[in-house]
Amino acid sequence: MRRTALSEEILLTVEKPARYIGNEVNSVLKDKTQVDIRFAMCFPDVYEIGMSHLGIQILYSMFNTFDDVWCERVYSPWTDLHAIMKEKNIPLFALESQDPILDFDFLGITLQYEMCYTNVLQILDLSHIPLYAADRNEAHPIVIGGGPCTYNPEPLADFFDLFYIGEGETAYRKLLDLYKECKRKGFGRQEFLRRASHINGIYVPSLYTVEYDDEGLIRAFTPVYDDVPSVIHKEIEMNVSDTYYPLNPVVPFIKVTQDRVVLEIQRGCIRGCRFCQAGMLYRPVRERDVNLLKSYAREMLDNTGYEEISLSSLSSSDYTHLEELINFLVDYAKEKKLNISLPSLRIDAFSLDVMSKIQDVRKSSLTFAPEAGSQRLRNVINKGLTEEVILEGARQAFLGGWTRVKLYFMLGLPTETEDDCRGIAELSNEIARLYYELIPKSERKGRVQIVASTSFFVPKPFTPFQWAKMCKKNDFLKKAHFVNECMHEQLNSKSIKYNYHEADVSILEGVFARGDRRLSAVIVKAYENGCLFDSWTETFREEPWIRAFDECGISMDFYTARERSLDEILPWDMIDIGVSKDFLKREWDKAINETVTPNCRISCSGCGARIFGGGVCYES
Amino acid sequence: MKVRIRFKKEGVMKYIGHLDVMRYFQKLLRRSDIPIAYSQGLSPHQIMSFAMPLSTGLESDGEYVDIEITQRVTSLEAVRRMNANNVEGIEILSFKELPDGAKNAMASISAADYEVSFRDGYRPAFSCIDILRKMYDEDCINVVKKTRKSESVVDIKPGIYEIEGDDDKIHFCLSCGSVLNIKPELVIEAAFNREGEDLPEYALSIRRNEIYTDIDGKRVSLDMIGTDII
Ligand code: SF4
């Protein structure tokens, strides 16, 4: 019978023991004596979040198709178990074998958001792996990072042996083969890392030195050896219709955030919103074959027993065969008694028709993401959505019976003025007004419900705003309070609800998004001060973070509240994502001049991603 | 056609709570292509009802779930398919057609068998079975039953049908259902209290062996109500 790393008593003491026992449908068991490489794949957050992540499922199934590899999963123990493991000195284990992480060859950690960085240290700490890569020896697994945050891995540079920059499907096999070769030849850890740095997409932070000038700016970033490349090119899967896909995804016992079959219909985005990092990182757009997606859908539903399916991409409405795919899914869902959950589609006649077929119109809501309150500012951020389009969508929806509207905006965007902020309230009001104008009193069932939410803008690497100054905490809150006041001044304010949240997490996100190697020390201090699960409102505490920065003598403002000059060496300059710095500069310039850049299907703007030889760049 | 499924739940599956077991079965039935019937309406759900929730931490050889199917499938085939799609720790033991008019499992339960032992390090100094036997010989066994809102004194004697075994393994047959629902830990706690001790949490390892219904005053296993589909 299955063994558990934790005792029965511990499992019955902690909240949701199912997080720690493995044994799920489609989880992979292998004979550890029959594989060459044991790979622990970690999402450094609680099980329910980690299990909802498609990228992990893709890599998990890819690794396990390799006969010589056994890939297992590991997630952050929740705070209750964390305390027990620390107290009793129980080592962190992988779910499948329940074996300690120390027994593994690799520990791969996906870095999806900056606020998981203390959880990364928790994983290392509980695994009994030294936090600093420099302190590790042959007995320790190779710690490898992947995911969007690795496009600026510098704040974590000291903790990782290497980073995999780019999409996971392409270069892992090479890395694993190199590892086996090094083992066979008796080469040590250092030799392996040195050789790994020659593989495209692999960045070994210990093989570079950074020098700073008197103001703390980077003066030079240099490889330690001649054979170590000075630029790391991202990896990209150009053939998305013929690559790994998890047709047998692991099915959790407990309810997780994404508790359904997920079909990734395309990678990348044609839009080029200037605040959006994903839109730049995953260029160019590559679509999956629609017939392939249909067969994936059938197979995955059969293999999991899930009753729900959803689509995933950055902008599903831009998928060429969306209508065909959705019509297929709607029919299939009817036959098989399935639910479809649609990502937020552009609101138009087609999407409204589909939505009315698959959900209760009165209970569901429309979602618009204008991101900025005025057309001027929307031009700055290159968000194509205009007020006319929003109002036309809302008009059709109200006539179709919808009464709930969700609006998403950002505060603190470059060049933002009071007028732009007021525009958020005015647009919300305008939509409410339209409803009352359109729907006669006798047909109304109560008020229209407009929910406007704002988040605080965080400049990200590899976007045209990577040079921008970020607001300070008080500026953010002032803006939110101002929007709130404006909401109250609106005629239809009773129909509008306005949401915003605290700004402290956004500031930290801003620091780490564009941070450098000197921040590693702060993260260690914060972890020692008790920070963990910082992305959770219930566990986040600002005070220990502030203390950590003070103790390290590092200023947050240096990273957030300063506009960077165009010739400053940025911590992530050694990474090449295909999109050129020149293009980003042009876009930054156009943003200031409030000039819109057309999307990739209207015309190519020469961003540089053509170099990958496929996708939307070669469509016509 | 109404069908009763008997299954075993053991090993690490004891950590999966009742609601999650229900969700597990919904998916299991789909994976196994069992022609399960759905309710009508805008959001159809599978027609399925479990006899009696099993608390987290307990194992069982006799769990029951009633479903409705739209097409005939033989018991052998259904059991085979479901077990091929099962995880370790859940095993389908039978899949039987219920006669017309049979009460659903939940409505008909009357008693259950349990097998109880002490987890390592929790065995008391006194002989638990001796105390239990003595208690059982008395006319009434008053215990304090606590609910979230109130405390009340209940005589549990009428709900204890059998106590057997030894200090390694104690067998109980206890009343369950809506009238008098008695859990084995309640009986053992009563024995501990007699010795002036409290029953520590996690002391007991419990396995449910069977659930019964009452037919003409006789206990009949829920499994005996249905017949194999051939
Ligand atoms: S090269 Fe042109 S078409 Fe290709 S991603 Fe860049 S802007 Fe779009």
pLDDT tens per residue across span A422-459:
999 999 999 999 999 999 998 888 889 999 999 999 99
Please judge whether A12 and B23 are an interchain contact, meaning their C-beta atoms are less than 8 angstroms apart: no
Cα separation, A584 vs A604, in Å, equals: 14
B-chain residues near A255 (CB < 8 A): 20, 23
pLDDT 10s digits, B126-148? 999 999 999 999 999 998 877 77
Pocket lining: A604 vs ligand 1, CB cutoff 6 Å: yes
Would you say A14 and A20 are in contact if contact means Cβ atoms under 8 Å apart? yes
pLDDT 10s digits, A255-296? 999 999 999 999 999 999 999 999 999 999 999 999 999 999
CA of A599 to the centre of ligand 1 (A): 8
Record the tokens describing residue A16, joined without a space: 């949701």
pLDDT at B18: 96
Cα separation, A201 vs A171, in Å, equals: 7
How far is A49 from chain B, CA to nearest CA, in Å?
Answer: 17
For residue B9, what are the β-bridge partners?
Answer: B60, B90
CB B212: neighbour CB atoms within 10 A?
24
Q: What is the Rg, in whole angstroms, of the alpha carbon atoms belonging to chain A?
A: 25
Record the tokens describing residue A375, joined without a space: 């057309």
How far is A270 from chain B, CA to nearest CA, in Å?
Answer: 36
pLDDT 10s digits, B174-208? 999 888 899 999 999 999 999 999 999 999 999 99
Would you say A195 and A178 are in contact if contact means Cβ atoms under 8 Å apart? yes
Q: Is the pLDDT of residue A561 over 80?
A: yes
- The residue whose CA is least distant from atom 3 of ligand 1 is A617
- Is the bond into A284 cis (omega within 30 degrees of 0)? yes
Q: Which helix (H) or strand (E) holds A528?
A: helix A520-528
**Looking at the complex, does the CB of residue A22 fall below 8 Å from at least one CB of chain B?**
yes
Query: Buried b / exposed e across A180-193, counting CB within 10 Å, b at 16+?
Result: eebeeeeeebeebb
Q: Is the pLDDT of residue A112 over 80?
A: yes
CA distances from A223 to A171, A194, A198, A288 (A): 21, 11, 12, 38
Would you say B214 and B224 are in contact if contact means Cβ atoms under 8 Å apart? no
Q: Is the pLDDT of residue A363 over 80?
A: no
Mean pLDDT estimate for chain A: 95
How far is A98 from chain B, CA to nearest CA, in Å?
Answer: 12
pLDDT at B102: 87
Cα separation, A231 vs A39, in Å, equals: 27
CA distances from A281 to A146, A150, A470, A474, B55 (A): 13, 11, 21, 31, 48
| Chain A residue nearest residue B58, CA to CA | A12
pLDDT at A368: 92
pLDDT at B220: 94
Cα separation, A381 vs A527, in Å, equals: 36
**SS3 state at A93:** strand
Cα separation, B189 vs A129, in Å, equals: 44
pLDDT confidence tier of residue A362, bands split at 50, 70 and 90: confident
Q: Which helix (H) or strand (E) holds A592?
A: helix A581-592
Burial of A369 (0-12, 13-18, 19+ CB in 10 A): middle
Q: Which helix (H) or strand (E) holds A60?
A: helix A54-65
Would you say A282 and A151 are in contact if contact means Cβ atoms under 8 Å apart? no
DSSP conformational letter for A205? G
pLDDT at B29: 97
Please judge whether B28 and A21 are an interchain contact, meaning their C-beta atoms are less than 8 angstroms apart: no
pLDDT at A357: 83
**Looking at the complex, does the CB of residue A152 fall below 8 Å from at least one CB of chain B?**
no
A461's CB contacts (< 8 A; 6+ apart) are A151, A152, A277, A513, A514, A570, A571, A572
* Type of residue found at A308: E
pLDDT confidence tier of residue B44, bands split at 50, 70 and 90: confident
Query: Buried b / exposed e across B52-73, counting CB within 10 Å, b at 16+?
Result: bebebbbbbbbbbbbbbbeeeb
pLDDT at A20: 98
Pick from B30, B44, B88: CB nearest A305: B30
Q: Span A209-213, mean pLDDT? A: 97
- The residue whose CA is least distant from atom 4 of ligand 1 is A617
pLDDT at A385: 87
Closest CA to A451 of A505, A403, A503: A403
pLDDT at B108: 86
Q: Which helix (H) or strand (E) holds A309?
A: strand A308-312
CA angle A134, A138, A143 (to 5 degrees): 60
Would you say A159 and A132 are in contact if contact means Cβ atoms under 8 Å apart? yes
Chain B interface with A: residues with Cβ < 8 Å: 10-13, 15-17, 20, 23-24, 26-31, 38, 42-44, 56-57, 85, 87-89, 119, 202, 205
A393's CB contacts (< 8 A; 6+ apart) are A346, A347, A348, A352, A366, A368
CA of A607 to the centre of ligand 1 (A): 5
Q: Span A491-509, mean pLDDT? A: 95
Token pair 């009753």 in the structure block, residue: A307
* pTM given for the model: 0.95
For residue A552, what are the β-bridge partners?
Answer: none
Pocket lining: A607 vs ligand 1, CB cutoff 6 Å: yes
pLDDT 10s digits, A81-107? 999 999 999 999 999 999 999 999 999
Closest CA to A14 of A23, A25, A5, A26: A5
ipTM of predicted complex: 0.94
pLDDT at A165: 98
Cα separation, A572 vs A583, in Å, equals: 16
Pick from B20, B43, B205: CB nearest A253: B20
Q: Span A143-151, mean pLDDT? A: 97
Compute the CA torsion angle A99, A104, A110, A113 (nearest 10 deg).
Answer: 70
Q: Which helix (H) or strand (E) holds A370?
A: strand A366-371
Would you say A57 and A246 are in contact if contact means Cβ atoms under 8 Å apart? yes
Closest CA to A27 of A304, A307, A305: A304
pLDDT at A511: 98
Q: Is the pLDDT of residue A503 over 90?
A: yes
CA angle A155, A160, A163 (to 5 degrees): 90
What number of CA atoms fall less than 13 Å from residue B171's CA on the CB side?
A: 7
A-chain residues near B30 (CB < 8 A): 301, 305-307
B-chain residues near A301 (CB < 8 A): 30
Beta strand pairing call for A208-212 and A202-203? unpaired
- Choose, out of B31, B69, B82, B120, the residue to mutate when testing the contact with A (most A CBs < 10 Å): B31
3-state helix/strand/coil string of chain B:
CEEEEEEEECHHHHHCCHHHHHHHHHHHHHHCCCCECECCCCCCCECEEECCCCCCCCEEEEEEEEEEECCCCCHHHHHHHHHHCCCCCEEEEEEEECCCCCCCHHHHEEEEEEEEEECCCCCCCCCHHHHHHHHHHCCCCEEEEECCCCEEEEECHHHEEEEEECCCCEEEEEECCCCCCCCHHHHHHHHHHHCCCCCCCCCEEEEEEEEEEEECCEEEEHHHCCEECC
Pocket lining: A616 vs ligand 1, CB cutoff 6 Å: yes
How far is B17 from chain A, CA to nearest CA, in Å?
Answer: 9
